[in-house]
Amino acid sequence: MGRAPSPFATKIPYEEKNLKIVGTNPTARGDAVDKVTGRARYASDIKLPGQLIGRVLRSPHARANILSIDTSAAEALPGVKAVVTRDDFPDMAIEHAASGELMVNFRDVTRNMMARENVLYDGHPVAAVAATSDAIAKQALKLIKVDYEVLPHVIDVRDAMKPDAPILHEDQFTKGVEPKPTKPSNIAARLESKLGDIEKGFAEAEIIIEREFNTKPVHQGYIEPQASIANYTEGGLAEVWTGTQGHFVFRAQIAKLLEMDLSKVKVIPTELGGGFGGKNNVYLEPLAVMLSKKGKRPVKMVMDRDEVFRATGPTSGTNVKVKMGCTKAGRITAAQAELNYQSGAYAGSSLPLATITVFTRYDLENVSVVGHDVTTNRPKVAAYRAPGAPMVAFGVETVVDELAEACGIDPIDFRLLNAAKEGTQTHFGPKLGPIGYIQTLERAKAHAHMKEKLGPDQGRGIATGFWFTLGAETSATVNIGEDGTATLIFGTVDVTGGSRSAFAMIVAEELGIPYEKVRTMSGDTSALGFNFMTAGSRGTAAGSMAAVTATRKAIARMCEIAARKWEVEPDQVVWEDGMARPAGANVGDFAPMSVAELAKEAAWFGGTIAGHAEINVAQGGPGFGTHIVDVEVDRRTGAVKVLRYTLIQDAGKAVYPEFIEGQFQGGAVQGIGTALNEEYIYNDKGVLENAGFLDYRIPVASDVPFINTEIVEVPNPDHPYGIRGIGEVPIIPPLPAIANAIYDAIGIRMRDHPMSPPKVLKALKDKMIEDAAAQGTAAE
Amino acid sequence: MRYEAPETLDAAVGLLAGESGTVKVLAGGTDVLVQIHADMIEPDVIVDIKKIAEMREVAEVDGAWRLGAAVTGKELMDNPAFNAAWPGVMDGVRLIGSVQVRGRATVGGNLCNASPAADSVPPMITSRAVATVIGPNGTREVPVKDIAVGPGKTSLEKGEFVVSFQFPKRPARSGDAYLRFTPRTEMDIAVVGCAVNLTLDDAGICTDAIVSLGAVAARALVVEDAAKALIGTPVDEAAMEALAAAASAAATPIDDKRGTIAFRTEVAGVLAQRAAAIALERAKS
Amino acid sequence: MAKQYITTTINDDHVEILCDPTQTLLDVLRDELDMTGTKEGCGTGDCGACSVTMDGVLVCSCLVLGIEANGKKIETIEGMAKGEELHPLQRKFIDHVALQCGICTPGLLIASKALLEENPDPTEEEIRYWLAGNLCRCTGYHKIIEAVEDAAAEMRGN
C-alpha cells in the first residue's frame, strides 16, 4: 500500500468500561425503514430536472490500436447534446495515489476511463454521448465509427509472463528487478519480502510440500450497477451524485482527470447498493461531468449489468506457488510463496496486499515471498473484499492441511502449534499486537459443528484468514442542536448500512444520552475534511475514532459553557452520564446541566456547540478468523453441496453484534460462491462470455445453508471501544476450507479454481484411472 | 416498435403473415424481452397473443389434456390435476427460471424460443404431445419433437405460431420424469437435461419408453437406443447400465461456458438413470 | 414510435401513462412514475431486484412491457406498508438485520410477501427455493430466511 505509518497518526487507547448502548442491537437503524419501504435513494433513483442520459461506447476487441474515431454522425443525431472522446480529456503523467487498498496511477486511470492510443480489454470505453433519452443515446453510439487495428491479446497470467507474449505496454519495464530490464514486459513489478533464512529453514524441514494453484478472476457482484449524475454549472462547478465508497477520493480523481480545482468539485455519496471494493474507482463520473459541461445540462449515466462485468474491476486471476516445510513434530520451519497476480489492462493489482497476508497467521522464522504484478487484456482489476487474500489462502491453507496430515496432526492443532500471537514478527515489518487468532482456533475446536457426524462422500475442512484494518484520514463533525439532540456528520461512506448505527451508538454512549437522540448524516465533500475510502475494513473502526474525537471536543465545549456559567475553571467541570457536573463538592453546589440546558445557553456563553475531528487514524487491530465447512460431493456429477458452515472471528469489540454476524455471513457466502462457481470466462477472441448474472453464478438462497457465527472479542488496544475491522476476513477462508473439505470427502486435492462440477468430476475420473493403474502395477 | 394485441387467432395470423418487417410473437416475454435488451433482435412489430382465449385454456377430455400455448408456468403449477397426470412435464416447467419467470413464461414460448437447453421441452417430447400450429394456410398438427430444429430456429413458416398442445391419454402404470444438471441449485440454464416416460405392464416389465436429452445437441434429442434399453426389462441394474451408455453415446454436446463435452456426455448417462428411476417409481404408484 | 396510452392500478391508485412500446414496466415505474423503490439490478430477469406483483402474480417487471400492464393491478414496494404501519415482513427484516445495503430488499420483500400469501407455513427449504430468484450479495441470505420464518409465524398468529 506504499505508505509507511505516520508518527502523527491517531491512536486512542482502549478503555475497559461498562457500556450502556454500544454492544446492543439498536431498535431503530438509521437507514432501515427507508430501505424496506423503497424510499432510500441510490444513485440511479436520483433525477435532476432537464437531465440528459449518458451512455458509453465500448471496445468489442480485447486489444487493438485506435486508428480513428468519427463521431460526426452521432453528433448530428437529433436529441444528442454532447459527445466526448479522448480528445476531451487531458493526458496524464505518471502519478501514484492510494484509492482504497490499491494504488492507482493517473496516467492509467485516465486511459481506463477513456481509451487514448489503444483499447486493452473487451468493454474498454472509447466514447460517450449524452442525449435527451436513453433510446437516442443508444442509437447515437451505433453511429460512432471507430477504426480499430486488432492486435493479438493475452488473457491468462501465465501466458502473459512468457517471453513471447503480446506486450500490452511498450514503456513498461519490470520494476524491482536489478539491473533494469531493457525489454518491455507484461510483468509490471516484482516484489520481494523476506524474513530469516529460507534455505536454512528448508534444510531443517523433515517434511516439505510444494504445490501450484491457479485461480480465475471473480467479480464483487454488487447488485447495484454503477450510476452517476453530474451537473456542471455555468459557473464552472461540478456536482456529482454517485455510488462510491469514497467521495473524497473520487473528488480528487475527478478533479485531477479533468484538471479542475478540488474546491470546484463536490461529490455527494448516495446510498450504496453494495461495493465490496468495486466502487473504489471512478468510471462514469468524469465522463458524466464532461458531458454535462458540453451539453450544458445535468447528465445521468447508469451502467447496464453487462458493462459492470466487462468494464469495472474484477479481482486478479492468479498463479500461486507455495512451498512449506515443517518438522515431524509439526513446527513450520520454512514458508515460501511465489504470487503471480494479473492486474488487468494496467499495472497495480492487489499483489502487495496478498504479500502481506500470505503467511501472517503463523509464527515463522524463515519466510520468502516473491510476487509479480502482470498486465493482461482484461479490465483493470479493482479491490474485492480482502483483495488478493483468498487466492493465496487457497494455496497456503491447503498446503498447511497437507503438512498437518503428513505429520499425523489434526489441522486445528497444527495451526495452534504454529499460531501467530502477540509479539509475532511478521515478514513484512511490524510485530503483531494482541490478537484473537488462537481464540478462534480454540473455539472452532470446541464447537458443536465438529461433533456433527459425516456420512458417505461428505467431508469437513477448516481454514483460517487474516486481514488488517486500515486507518487513514478520517473527519467528522458533531453538532449539538438547541433541543439537546446531537447530529453526527460522518464522511466514511456507510457501505453496509450498519456503520451509521454504530456511530450513533458510540456518540450516544460518549454523550450519555439515549441512542434515539443521536442522528447521523452522511456529509458530502463540502461538509467535512478529507475522508479516505471505506476500504480495508476501516468504515466503522476509523469512522468511529473520528466520531469519538469530535464528540469529546463537543463535550469539552459543553464543559466550557458550564464553567463559564458557574464561573469556575474548565478543569473543575466533568462530563458524566450525559451531564456537565462540578468535578467535586469543593467546586460548588451547582445543579448538573443536561445537553439541552447547555445548548439553550450556548450562544450567550460564546457560540453554539460543535466538535469536529480531522485525524489520520493509525492502522491497527488486525482481524483473524477460523472457518469450518462440511460438504457433500456427488461422485457422479462432481457437484459439491455445502451442508454446514461455521465461522468464528475476532471483532475486537462487537459494537453492533447482529450486524457483525450479517457481515460474517455475507462474506462467507461470497467466499462459497468464489470457491464453487464464480469465474470470468473468456473466448479465444478475449471477449467476456459470461457478462451477466445468468452465467456469472453467484450463490442463490437455495445454494447455501445457515451460516453459524461466533464473535471473539480481543479488544483492539488502539481504539477507545476496542473495535477491529471485520468486513474482509470472512471471505478469505471459504475457498481453502472447501478445498480441504472436498479432500476429506473424496480424497482429491483441488488446486484449480473454481471447484466447479466439471473440474471435480474430471479430477474424480483421473483419480480412478490413476488408482486403477496403480493397482495394475501393484498386481504385476 | 409497434405493439399489437389481437383477440382472435385469425387476427394474429394476419399480423404475423402480413407485416413486412420483423414480427415477433410475445407470450410470456421472458426470452423476447431479454433478447431485445441485449440488442439481439429489433422487432418492428410485437404481437401479444395473450388475449386470444384458445391460447390460455387448459382442459381435459377423457384423460387427454389440451394446453394452450400461452398458459403460464404458474398456472400449470396451480393445476393439481395436470400435475398428477404429467409430473415429468411439470418437473421441467418447475425448473424454468425463477418464481418470477414462471409467473410469465409459457410452455409454448419455452418450446418456440428453441433453446437446446429449454427445460420443458424434453418432457413435452416424451409425453408425445402434438402441437396445433396455425398459419396463413390453416392449421396443422406437429409433434413437439419436430418444432425446434436448431438453436433459435423452429420449423414454423412465416406467419405460423403454436396455438395449443394436445396430450395423448395416459395408459395406466405410466410415469414420466425430467431432471437437469445445473451448477447452482436454481437459476441456471440446464447443462444437461433428460426426460424419461415409460409404461409398465402388470408384471412390472417396461412395455413402452421414450427418452429425450436436452442441452447436448442443437436441439432436444429423442434417443431410440435409450428407450430400447428399457423396453422389455424390469428397469433393473443391467437395463440402467445400458440406458446410461445409450444416453451418453447419443449426446453430441459442445464445449461452452456452461459445460464441457466430456462432462455433458458423462452426466447425460447419469441423469438418464436418475430420471428413469423416478419415472419408474411414479409408474408403480 | 408512437406512445401508447395505458391505464393501470398501482398500489390501489388509478394511474394513466403514455408509454413507449419498448419500455418495460420497470422503466415505466422508475422513469415515468418516479416510483424508484423497484430496482434494476440486471434488466434480464436474473436478479429479482425489480420484482412486483401483477394481478397477484410475482413477476420481474423488467420482463413485462409497460403496455402489458394496461388494465392490470400492480403492487410495488411502495404499497407494502399501510400508512404508518409496516408490513410484518418489513418489520422483521429490520428486527433481524436481514438487510445491509438494501438494494435487493424491495424485491425480496415483494417476493416474500407473495410466498406467504401462497404458502403461509413454508419450510426453510421452501423459502430458499422460492427466493432463489432474488439475488443478495451482502447478507448470505441467513437473516433473510430467519426474518421470513418469523414474519410467517407472526402472520399465522403463532
pLDDT digits (tens, 9 = 90+) for A72-91: 999 999 999 999 999 999 99
- Mean per-residue pLDDT, A212-231: 98
- Mean per-residue pLDDT, A656-677: 97
- Mean per-residue pLDDT, A516-532: 95
A412: helix, strand or coil: helix
Nearest residue in chain B measured CA to CA from C4: B3
| Structural element, H or E, at residue A574 | strand A573-576
Interface of B with C in 10-39 (CB under 8 A): 26, 28-30, 33-34, 36-38
Confidence of residue A780 (pLDDT cuts 50, 70, 90): low
Q: For residue A108, is it left (φ>0), alpha (ψ between -120 and 50) or beta?
A: alpha
Q: Is A182 on the interface with B (CB under 8 A)?
A: no
Interface of A with B in 668-687 (CB under 8 A): 676-677, 681
Cβ contacts (< 8 Å) between B104 and chain C: which residues? Answer: 57, 59-60, 63-64
- Three-state SS string across chain C, please? CCCEEEEEEECCEEEEEEECCCCEHHHHHHHHCCCCCCCCCCCCCCCCCCEEEECCEEEEHHHCEHHHHCCCEEECHHHCCECCECCHHHHHHHHCCCCCCCCCHHHHHHHHHHHHHHCCCCCHHHHHHHHHHCCCCCCCCHHHHHHHHHHHHHHHCC
A585: helix, strand or coil: helix
∠ at Cα A655 (A651, A656), nearest 5°?
A: 100
CA distance A78 to A207: 73
Same domain, C73 and C14: yes
Inter-chain Cβ pairs, chain A and chain B, closer than 8 A: 53
The CATH number covering residue C101 comes to 1.10.150.120
Burial A297-329, CB ≥16 within 10 A → b, else e: bbbbbbbbbbbbbbbbbbbbbbbbebbbbbeee
pLDDT at A2: 45
- Say yes or no for a CB contact (<8 Å) between C21 and B30: no
- Mean per-residue pLDDT, A169-190: 96
What percentage of chain A carries pLDDT values higher than 70? 99
- Say yes or no for a CB contact (<8 Å) between A756 and B183: yes
Per residue in A38-64, pLDDT (tens digit) is 999 999 999 999 999 999 999 999 999
Question: Which CATH number does B174-284 carry?
Answer: 3.30.390.50
pLDDT at C71: 97
CA distance A58 to A115: 9
CA distance A501 to A519: 9
- Say yes or no for a CB contact (<8 Å) between A637 and B181: yes
- Say yes or no for a CB contact (<8 Å) between A701 and C37: no
A428: helix, strand or coil: coil
pLDDT at A48: 97
- Mean per-residue pLDDT, A526-541: 92
* Residue C137: pLDDT over 90: yes
pLDDT at A428: 85
- Say yes or no for a CB contact (<8 Å) between A36 and C105: yes
Domain count, chain C: 2
Alpha-helical regions (H) of A496-594: 499-511, 539-566
User: Distance between terminal CA atoms of chain C?
Assistant: 54
Confidence of residue A274 (pLDDT cuts 50, 70, 90): very high
What percentage of chain A carries pLDDT values higher than 90? 92
Confidence of residue A414 (pLDDT cuts 50, 70, 90): very high
Same domain, C74 and C94: no
Alpha-helical regions (H) of A602-649: none
- Say yes or no for a CB contact (<8 Å) between C58 and B46: no
Cβ contacts (< 8 Å) between B185 and chain A: which residues? Answer: 700, 702-703
A106, A114 Cβ separation under 8 angstroms: no
| Structural element, H or E, at residue A710 | strand A707-712
pLDDT at A429: 84
Per residue in A456-475, pLDDT (tens digit) is 999 999 999 999 988 899 99
- Mean per-residue pLDDT, A406-415: 98
Per residue in B49-88, pLDDT (tens digit) is 999 999 999 999 999 999 999 999 999 999 999 999 999 9
Q: Poorest-confidence range of A1-5, A376-380, A381-385, B194-198?
A: A1-5
CA distance A240 to A289: 7
Cβ contacts (< 8 Å) between C134 and chain B: which residues? Answer: 98
A1: helix, strand or coil: coil
pLDDT at B205: 98
- Say yes or no for a CB contact (<8 Å) between A637 and B270: yes
Same domain, C75 and C11: yes
Q: Poorest-confidence range of A99-108, A593-602, B102-111, C43-52?
A: A99-108
pLDDT at A536: 86
Other beta carbons within 10 angstroms of residue C83's beta carbon come to: 5
pLDDT at A1: 40
Cβ contacts (< 8 Å) between C130 and chain B: which residues? Answer: 99
Query: What is the 8-class DSSP label of residue B39?
Result: T
Interface of C with B in 77-106 (CB under 8 A): none
What percentage of chain C carries pLDDT values higher than 70? 99
Beta strand pairing status for B45-48 and B23-26? parallel
For residue A38, give the nearest of C78, C128, C137 by CB distance: C78
Same domain, C72 and C98: no
Same domain, C61 and C105: no
Please state whether the peptide bond connecting residue B122 to the residue before it is cis, i.e. omega within 30 degrees of 0.
Answer: no
The CATH number covering residue C22 comes to 3.10.20.30
Same domain, C75 and C130: no
Same domain, C104 and C133: yes
Q: Is B46 on the interface with C (CB under 8 A)?
A: yes
- Mean per-residue pLDDT, A382-394: 96
Neighbours of chain A (3+ CB pairs under 8 A): B, C
Specify which residues B60 forms β-bridges with: B65
Phi, psi of C97 (to 5 degrees): 55, 45
- Mean per-residue pLDDT, A188-202: 96
CA-nearest of A767, A744, A756, A763 to A398 is A744
For residue A666, give the nearest of C22, C109, C140 by CB distance: C140
Count how many residues are written for chain C. Answer: 158
Per residue in A312-361, pLDDT (tens digit) is 999 999 999 999 999 999 999 999 999 999 999 999 999 999 999 999 99
Same domain, C74 and C93: no
Shortest distance between the Cα of C23 and any Cα of chain A, in A, equals 10
Same domain, C92 and C125: yes
Tell me the three cell numbers of residue A285: 463520473
DSSP sequence for A178-191:
SSPPSS--SEEEEE
Mutate which of A678, A695, A752 to disrupt the B interface (most B C-beta within 10 Å)?
A695
Cβ contacts (< 8 Å) between A707 and chain C: which residues? Answer: 140, 142
∠ at Cα B182 (B178, B183), nearest 5°?
A: 160
Q: What average pLDDT does the structure give for chain A?
A: 95
For residue C16, the enclosing domain spans 4-79
Confidence of residue A625 (pLDDT cuts 50, 70, 90): very high
CA distance A693 to A671: 17
pLDDT at B188: 96
Q: Is B40 on the interface with A (CB under 8 A)?
A: no
